[in-house]
């Protein structure tokens, strides 16, 4: 899996957009960018993933640069419940065969949303 680099912490005001960056300069052509988050006292939760096109779902948007060396997760209207550790992970989409369930987590970004 690709090595990813994220800032250790970020702050955001409630109601504003939270933009979380991730560098993944060694990502290979078949590796997708995944974002998971972990709210205190819970297990990680899937947010979004993408290969090279921008993606949007009900939780967030993912912007991937054209060279795929970095990406940004956007929470359009952050709430206090979005306070969590956010993990950016590079991994093949389809684990294939029996290689299911292995994700390589870094230390992530602690996002704190303030009232």
Residue of 25, 28, 45, 56 that binds other proteins (CB under 8 A)? 45
Cβ-based nearer residue to other proteins, 50 or 82: 50
Residue of 9, 25, 79, 107 that binds other proteins (CB under 8 A)? 107
Cβ(22)–Cβ(71) below 8 Å: yes
Q: Does 54 bind other proteins (CB under 8 A)?
A: no
Of 109, 111, 83, 112, whose CA–CA distance to 6 is shortest? 109
Cβ-based nearer residue to other proteins, 13 or 45: 45
Q: Does 95 bind other proteins (CB under 8 A)?
A: yes
């Amino acid at each position: 899996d690709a090595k990813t680099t994220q800032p250790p912490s970020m702050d955001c005001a409630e109601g504003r957009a939270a933009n979380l960056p991730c560098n993944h300069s060694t990502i290979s052509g078949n590796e997708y960018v995944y974002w998971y988050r972990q709210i205190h006292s819970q297990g990680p939760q899937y947010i979004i993933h993408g290969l090279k096109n921008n993606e949007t779902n009900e939780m967030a948007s993912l912007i991937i640069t054209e060279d795929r060396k970095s990406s940004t997760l956007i929470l359009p209207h952050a709430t206090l419940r979005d306070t969590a550790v956010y993990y950016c992970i590079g991994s093949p989409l389809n684990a294939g065969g029996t290689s299911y369930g292995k994700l390589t987590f870094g230390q992530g970004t602690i996002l704190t949303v303030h009232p």
